Amino acid sequence: MSSSTLPSSDSPTIAFIGGGNMASAIAGGLLSHGLTPRQLLVVEPFAATREALKAGHGIDALPAADERLAAASLVIWAVKPQVFAEATQPVAPFTRQALHLSVAAGIPTDAIARWLGTERIVRAMPNTPALVGLGMTGLFARAGAQADDRRQVERVLAGTGQTLWVTEETQLDAVTALSGSGPAYVFYFLEAMAQAGQDMGLPAEQALQLALGTFVGAATLAQRSPEAPATLRERVTSKGGTTFAALESLRGSQVAEHFITAMKAAQARSAELGAEFGR
Ligand SMILES: NC(=O)C1=CN([C@@H]2O[C@H](COP(=O)(O)OP(=O)(O)OC[C@H]3O[C@@H](n4cnc5c(N)ncnc54)[C@H](OP(=O)(O)O)[C@@H]3O)[C@@H](O)[C@H]2O)C=CC1
Ligand SMILES: O=C(O)[C@@H]1CCC=N1
């Protein structure tokens, strides 16, 4: 593949190892940005997932690695951290010339370099809004990945949303806890708001619509406003009013402190996954 453009030939140039949620989200972004299904190849042992990739994206998936992988100039690792090491064995012989991009939580590039016998490695921590082109991906490049490699990763991920480079690999544990797992916290909060709406007498559908509209509106306001979230929050909070009552209750329950503790648990788990499965 040329280093300045996305692949234009019709042969597979990007291979995914693991064809689940994250591979599907990234592949969806690539296809909506001009790649054809024939330019993508997926290795995926689970037949139902292969069929879903064919039905959803028109992508052919292989049940196991074979020589067709040698046509890939970029290999995207989208397997669970627990199976990463064993998944590298059949793939490595075909992909030594490729750039490797791992989205696996925790697994350090030292381990990936050892397993694959290459230094051209970039680690990414994407999130599922990549499915709708609104993902947030943290990136870290190993020293063996050149400027061209970094640009190639940026171009490939452009269809999935925003990217951001970190300078220390350990910072990816924080990125994982914040934006990688982050959509789950948002959905959790959304569920709680919709449930409260129902408890207070609204129909389920209306409660969800109100909660969802509020999330999208508040996030868009925070993104477009030059003011900090704390200032925007104060604007909603009339003295002695309803928001004040709710925020006092949240403070009394130390919700912010509990939330920060929860995110640090995610960060610790990311580091732990690296230590456990990156040996
Ligand atoms: N989901 C998310 O929000 C995010 C996930 N990630 C990371 O992405 C990675 C994938 O997560 P996700 O997509 O959610 O997981 P999924 O379980 O949806 O996808 C992983 C896929 O890999 C397949 N697989 C298992 N073993 C192999 C193998 N040896 N070779 C090829 N494929 C194999 C699995 O098949 P089978 O089901 O049969 O085991 C499964 O279909 C993880 O490392 C995770 O940390 C990163 C950011 C966000
Ligand atoms: O839960 C996980 O381990 C993965 C990593 C970030 C989001 N999902």
ipTM: 0.97
pLDDT at 107 over 70: yes
Return the half-sphere exposure (C-beta side, CA atoms, 13 A cut-off) of residue 61.
26
Concatenating the DSSP letter of every residue in 249-263 gives HHHHTTHHHHHHHHH
Within this chain, do residues 162 and 43 fall inside the same structural domain, yes or no?
yes
Average pLDDT over residues 255-264: 98
Average pLDDT over residues 254-263: 98
Residue nearest to atom 36 of ligand 1 (CA): 46
**Separation of CA 11 and ligand 1 centre (Å):** 24
Please work out whether the CB of residue 176 comes within 6 Å of at least one atom of ligand 2.
yes
- Look at the alpha carbons of 78, 81, 86, 92 in this order and tell me if their dihedral is positive or negative: positive
* Confidence band, pLDDT 50/70/90 cuts, at residue 110: very high
Within this chain, do residues 19 and 156 fall inside the same structural domain, yes or no?
yes
Residue nearest to atom 7 of ligand 2 (CA): 181
CA 203 distance to own-chain centroid: 33
Mean of the per-residue pLDDT values of the chain: 94
pLDDT at 11: 56
* Confidence band, pLDDT 50/70/90 cuts, at residue 3: very low
pLDDT at 4 over 50: no
Concatenating the DSSP letter of every residue in 95-116 gives -TTSEEEE--SS--HHHHHHHH
pLDDT at 116 over 60: yes
pLDDT at 2: 36
* Confidence band, pLDDT 50/70/90 cuts, at residue 33: confident
Ligand number nearest to the C-alpha of 16: 1
Within this chain, do residues 65 and 25 fall inside the same structural domain, yes or no?
yes
Within this chain, do residues 148 and 208 fall inside the same structural domain, yes or no?
no
- Of 33, 23, 3, the C-alpha closest to 120 is 3
Within this chain, do residues 42 and 157 fall inside the same structural domain, yes or no?
yes
C-alpha–C-alpha distance, residues 267 and 12, integer Å = 35
Within this chain, do residues 21 and 89 fall inside the same structural domain, yes or no?
yes
pLDDT at 93 over 50: yes
pLDDT at 190: 98
Within this chain, do residues 165 and 193 fall inside the same structural domain, yes or no?
no
Within this chain, do residues 245 and 143 fall inside the same structural domain, yes or no?
no
Residue partners of 248: CB distance under 8 A and separation at least 6: none
Lowest mean pLDDT among 32-36, 73-77, 185-189: 32-36
| CATH number of the domain enclosing 120 | 3.40.50.720
Query: Considering 169, 198, 217, which residue would you say is the last residue of a domain?
Result: 169
Is 175 a member of any domain? Answer: no
* Confidence band, pLDDT 50/70/90 cuts, at residue 159: confident
Residue from 123, 136, 173, 176 whose mutation best tests the ligand 2 pocket (most atoms within 8 A of CB): 176
* Confidence band, pLDDT 50/70/90 cuts, at residue 7: very low
Range of the domain at 158: 14-169
164 vs 126, 136, 260, CA distance in Å?
A: 10, 8, 22
Question: Residue 52 corresponds to which tokens in the numbers above?
Answer: 């879903």
Question: Residue 275 corresponds to which tokens in the numbers above?
Answer: 């230590």
**Separation of CA 180 and ligand 1 centre (Å):** 14
Is 83 a member of any domain? Answer: yes
For residue 224, give the amino acid letter. R
Is-contact 162 137, C-beta < 8 A? yes
| CATH number of the domain enclosing 221 | 1.10.3730.10
**Separation of CA 114 and ligand 2 centre (Å):** 23
- Quick: pLDDT tens for 18-27: 999 999 989 9
Please work out whether the CB of residue 125 comes within 6 Å of at least one atom of ligand 1.
yes
- Quick: pLDDT tens for 212-254: 999 999 999 999 999 999 999 999 999 999 999 999 999 999 9
Within this chain, do residues 100 and 137 fall inside the same structural domain, yes or no?
yes
Is-contact 17 77, C-beta < 8 A? yes
Is-contact 57 27, C-beta < 8 A? yes
Nearest atom in ligand 2 to the alpha carbon of residue 184 is: 7
Is 3 a member of any domain? Answer: no
Beta strands 121-125 and 135-141 are: antiparallel
Residue nearest to atom 24 of ligand 1 (CA): 18
Nearest atom in ligand 2 to the alpha carbon of residue 273 is: 3
Q: Provide the number of structural domains found in the chain.
A: 2
* Residues annotated within a binding site for NADP(+): 17-22, 78-81
